[in-house]
């Protein structure tokens, strides 16, 4: 069965430092997609970045990059030059059967990131 594990319940980071949020996954599918979402205290879920299992390059979106290590089944989120507004809950998610219109998505338990000024 597919599973997403986020082992860091909470993290404190100094402003302007880079931060890595860990995510490991388990799936028997060859084709899948990995996502990161941010949930600020206001509650909305904000899409950050996506990585497909066949993508050879690590995904990047502005200050966000995804360190994808397929053999280790890890998809860590890296935030460069952290800002106070990055304080939020971060969720890693996976969708199996990447090209299927009927695939399910599961989420990890999340990491609460707090940025110190």
- Nearest-angstrom CA–CA distance, 30 and 60: 22
* Among the listed residues 41, 44, 71, 72, the single contact to another protein using CB under 8 A: 44
Interface stretch with another protein, choices 18-26, 32-40, 64-72, 76-84 (CB under 8 A): 32-40
Q: Which of 12, 72, 54, 62 is nearest to 36 (CA)?
A: 62
Single residue of 12, 26, 47, 83 touching another protein by CB under 8 A: 47
Q: Which of 18, 81, 84, 105: binder of another protein (CB under 8 A)?
A: 105
Q: Which helix (H) or strand (E) holds 37?
A: strand 32-39
């Amino acid at each position: 069965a597919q599973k997403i594990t986020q082992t860091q319940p909470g993290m404190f980071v100094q402003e302007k430092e880079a931060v890595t949020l860990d995510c490991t996954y388990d799936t028997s599918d060859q084709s899948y997609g990995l996502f990161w979402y941010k949930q600020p205290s206001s509650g909305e879920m904000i899409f950050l970045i996506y990585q497909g299992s066949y993508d050879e390059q690590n995904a990047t979106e502005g200050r966000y990059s995804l360190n994808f290590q397929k053999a280790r089944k890890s998809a860590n989120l890296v935030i460069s030059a952290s800002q106070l507004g990055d304080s939020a809950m971060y969720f890693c998610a996976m969708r199996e059967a990447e090209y299927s219109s009927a695939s399910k998505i599961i989420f990890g338990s999340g990491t609460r990131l707090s940025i110190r000024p």
